[in-house]
Amino acid sequence: MRISAKGEYAILAILDLAEVYETGEIHTLEEISKDQSIPHPFLVQILLELKRAGIVESRRGAGGGYRLAMHPRDISLGEVIRQIEGPLLPFKCILPTVESHECPHHGNCVLTAVWRDVRRAIETVIDNVSFEDLARRRENLSSPMFHI
């Protein structure tokens, strides 16, 4: 599985908003772009997509910007990745579509079960990591450690 720059930027933008969720703070495009080193034009597209998905909401005008549409504990890493990247491991043989039947090996391919297991394992991990978890992890990384 490979996450594109767009996917990584979406994760960073949501993480930025998750870190200020409890304060009720709204972040502007400029703040998110600067804080997370995301190119501004790219961020506009990403936030529009996440807004259509109901993950973020926006406020227009002076004092406007973006915030999460729900608590960070209710947004999984998997949800954001799928929204931006599409299905995980998009092999035709494991997608529940008509395309899966177009494979000449459909029904007798030893790899189909392996790809399903790999996808399930990845989903188990990313669907059980919330943005609240990620914000806490980031906070722990930036906390100074004192040794005596």
CA 13 to chain centroid: 9
Residue 23 in any domain: the answer is yes
15-68: per-residue pLDDT in tens?
Answer: 999 999 999 999 999 999 999 999 999 999 999 999 999 999 999 988 889 999
pLDDT category of residue 119 using cuts at 50, 70 and 90: confident
For residue 41, the domain's CATH number is 1.10.10.10
Band of residue 139 on the pLDDT scale cut at 50, 70, 90:
confident
Residue 102 domain flag = no
- Count of domains in the chain? 1
**Distance between CA atoms of residues 112 and 108, nearest Å:** 8
If you count DSSP H runs as helices and E runs as strands, how many of each does the chain have, helices first? 6, 2
For the chain, give the mean pLDDT: 87
Residue 22 lies in a domain: yes
Pick the residue with more confidence: 70 or 110? 70
Structural domain including 27 reads: 5-88+130-142
Does 36 map to a domain? yes
Tell me whether residue 44 is in a domain. Answer: yes
Note whether residue 115 is domain-resident. Answer: no
Specify whether the CB–CB gap between 22 and 131 falls below 8 A. Answer: no
Measure the CA–CA gap between 127 and 106, rounded to whole angstroms.
Answer: 28
